[in-house]
Amino acid sequence: MSSVHAQKEGPIKLKLASFFPGTHPAETELVQGWAEAIEKATDGRVIITSYPGETLLKAADIYNGVVDGVADIGLSSFSYNSGRFPEIEAFEQPGIVYKNSKSASKTAWEGIQELDPECVQDTKLLMVIATGPGDLFTRKPVNKLEDLVGMQIRATGLTADTLALTGAVPVGMPQSDAYESLSKGIVNGNLAPIEVLKTWKHAEVTKHLTRTPFLYNNLFYITMNIDKWNAMPEDIKNIITEVSLEYQEKVGIGLWDRQNQAALKWAIEEEGIEIVELSEEETQRWIQKVMPMQEKYIEKNGEAGIRALETAMRLAEKYNDEY
């Protein structure tokens, strides 16, 4: 179909489902900026309407919702569908330390392009960004491994299995349910990037932060229904690809770094949150506890798992040096 014909038929209107609140920078800075840039670059031939805050699809339903055409585009976390994306789980394995979200995001995107895994071929992947290191926010202080034993911690996907090895009791729930659960004492903590202290208001219900960059990395995707993508004119595909790469680089890869810095300052100054820095000796105790996750991953995924894990480690080293 020619671009002129497409214009005569009216603009291509796309629905985007996201679990992030409408006030979250992932919505206000990334999604809205990206959607506006695509509309402008296509001269109004593509109009994207975002449905944030799980108003169209719940977090765990977004990927399948895109596959099934309930949404044309989806923004969510791979970790909400544990086991569905085996190669991608390599980039979230504990024991791999990412210096920041830029390093983690560049590692993830380049690694996924290199591996080209079958698990994401049923949609058109437009962006992958990562949080980088995450930390433990708790109602009671966690100064050593023993303090975590028996503590109920909100976690999803791979991080839930990781936490279980430390002696904690992982409780699966989306980030959107964590505030209420923390405030009511249903869970005693959360393992997440620092930004949740402010953007999800968790500093109001947790008063202690233990730095654990070796425990956590979370990958998010923006992906499109494959039939919708294939039906688009080539010039529009090229524009969407170009704008997506631009926004991934300009906004996406550093999104959590910017949020984390602002949130930590705010949480300390406004909410009085206390920071616990583990000693090197204590850090190694924690790492030794969770390293079986990598062994389990290789056992489950064989040669493909080895390749994915080696790719993640190699690129993490490269981009930690760069960023």
Of the candidates 214, 152, 160, which has an alpha carbon nearest to the alpha carbon of residue 187?
152
Q: What is the pLDDT of residue 51?
A: 99
Instruction: Profile the chain (323 residues) by mean pLDDT over runs of 10 residues.
Output: 53 98 96 99 99 97 99 97 95 95 98 98 98 95 97 92 96 92 97 93 96 95 99 98 98 95 95 97 96 96 98 98 95
Q: What is the pLDDT of residue 8?
A: 56
Evaluate whether 154 touches 146 at the Cβ level (below 8 Å).
no
Contact partners, residue 303, CB within 8 Å, separation at least 6: none
Three-class SS state of 12: strand
Q: What is the pLDDT of residue 2?
A: 42
Q: Which class is domain 135-216+259-322?
A: alpha beta
Of the candidates 292, 279, 294, which has an alpha carbon nearest to the alpha carbon of residue 210?
279
Give pTM, 2 decimals.
0.88
Count CB atoms within 10 A of the CB of residue 226: 16
Any idea where the domains of the chain sit in the sequence? 3-82+101-130+219-258, 135-216+259-322
Q: What is the pLDDT of residue 156?
A: 85
Contact partners, residue 16, CB within 8 Å, separation at least 6: 31, 35, 48, 49, 50, 51, 71, 72, 73, 74, 75
Q: 3-82+101-130+219-258: which CATH topology?
A: D-Maltodextrin-Binding Protein; domain 2 (3.40.190)
- Domain 3-82+101-130+219-258 and domain 135-216+259-322 have a common topology: yes
Of the candidates 181, 190, 60, 183, which has an alpha carbon nearest to the alpha carbon of residue 135?
190
In whole angstroms, give the CA distance from residue 274 to residue 128. Answer: 32
Q: What is the pLDDT of residue 35?
A: 99
Q: What is the pLDDT of residue 186?
A: 96
Q: What is the pLDDT of residue 9?
A: 76
Residues in the chain: 323
* DSSP percent split of the chain into helix, strand, coil, nearest 5: 55, 15, 30
